[in-house]
Amino acid sequence: MILQIDDLVKHYGPVRAVDGLSLEIGQGEVLGLVGESGSGKSTVGRCVLRLTEPTSGAIRLDGRDITHLSRRRLRPLRRDMHIVFQDPYSSLNPRFTIEQIVGEPLLRHQAATRLEVGGRVAAMLEKVGLRPETRGRFPHELSGGQRQRVGLARALILGPKLVVADEPVSALDVSVQASVLNLINDLQRDLGFSCLFITHDLSVVEFLADRIAVMYLGRIVESGPTAEIFAEPRHPYTQALLSAAPVPDPVRQRRRRRIVLGGDVPSPVDPPAGCRFHTRCPLAYDACRTVEPELTDPRGGGHPAACHLVTADRVPDAASPR
């Protein structure tokens, strides 16, 4: 396993952003972590990279416990993990040229001499589909899609084992989103890094992720192989997310029953008792308000869900409430 997270908790004062979450990412695997805003998914990414300190739980990178490593001891491991942010503009220093931005990790980790940096940057820019002359440009001279390619080049130049991609395409125009997603897919296959891909949009990870984990109010409510999640979403929340995702086929789109969830995600300061999803679930019944469902896999297939109504022979259907 490249990444192992056990019972991760991150509270910001009274806010229980992540509240007991476990997941694993294998060598060369892409895990899509999906949830609405406020689900805690970005906090998971920030804890993994130790950009924020976990409250409790354990994080292992390639077998090594990094949960409480000091900054100094963490520094060499920063070569192995990198983040791609949502907004490429605010994450690139506007006063630096693209060569300085992409080459900086090489110099910081003494992975190349000053003489070598130019060549390494040029090769990396080519890999992400940018022309060599981009090296001398500044971030404001590039389009949003080009800037996100620069962000990718910077994240990948040290050959990390793990890339955390936090909504890497959601700030881009729809027309460029697909090309950047295809690029990430190609780079991942080519370079073989593992990836935690964080997104609010299930359709974004359909072709990219090997597995998907769906988050709601700081916990995972369902996880499994991507094809399985799309073929048989087991948790009512996943069913609702899927019903809202656009489908390219207009016939399928018309046939589909949309599940409209009432209200917003409740406050993570005081999550609902019982099943955290019960205030919005069309199938909620008495037990849901008091008994918290465990993440279990009665139907098998490495596809657990946290819902009382998932049993060995039955999957609930949130589109047909009783």
Residues that bind ligand SF4 (CB under 6 A): 235-236, 275, 277-278, 281, 283-284, 288, 293, 307-309, 316
User: To 5 degrees, how large is the angle CA 129–CA 34–CA 31?
Assistant: 60
- Token pair for 223: 């996880």
Q: Between 146 and 238, whose beta carbon lies closer to ligand SF4?
A: 238
Q: What is the C-alpha to C-alpha distance for residues 5 and 22, in angstroms, rounded to an integer?
A: 5
The burial of 72, by beta-carbon neighbours within 10 Å (0-12 exposed, 13-18 middle, 19 or more buried), is given as exposed
In the complex, least distance from residue 22 CB atom to ligand SF4, rounded to whole angstroms: 19
What span, in angstroms and rounded, lies between the C-alpha atoms of 256 and 258?
A: 6
**Cα-Cα end-to-end distance for the chain:** 42
CB 134 within 8 A of CB 128: no
Please, are residues 17 and 10 in contact by the beta-carbon 8 Å criterion?
Answer: yes
**Rounded least distance, CB 228 to ligand SF4, Å:** 18
Which residue, 267 or 290, is less far from ligand SF4 as judged by CB?
290
Region of 72 (left: φ > 0; alpha: ψ -120 to 50; beta: rest) is alpha
Closer CB to ligand SF4, 249 or 286, in the complex:
286
CB nearer ligand SF4, residue 226 or residue 239: 239
**Dihedral angle, C-alpha 186, 191, 192, 197, nearest 10 °:** -60
| Residue showing tokens 């359709």 | 203
List alpha helices for the chain, DSSP H.
41-48, 71-74, 88-91, 98-108, 114-127, 144-156, 174-191, 202-205, 226-231, 236-244, 250-255
- Rounded to a whole number of angstroms, the minimum distance from the CB of residue 303 to ligand SF4 is 15
172/275 with CB nearer ligand SF4:
275
Closer by beta carbon to ligand SF4, 24 or else 36: 36
**What is the sign of the dihedral through the CA atoms of 249, 254, 259 and 262?**
positive
Q: Which is nearer to ligand SF4, 135 or 278 (CB)?
A: 278
Q: How far is the CB of 121 from ligand SF4 (least distance, A)?
A: 49
CB of 275 to ligand SF4, least distance (A): 3
Q: How far apart are CA 162 and CA 151, in angstroms?
A: 15
Tell the smallest beta-carbon distance from residue 166 to ligand SF4 (Å): 27
Residue 85 or 277 with smaller CB distance to ligand SF4: 277
* Closest distance of CB 174 from ligand SF4, Å: 31
Owner of token pair 């040229």: 97
Least separation in angstroms between residue 206's CB and ligand SF4 is 22
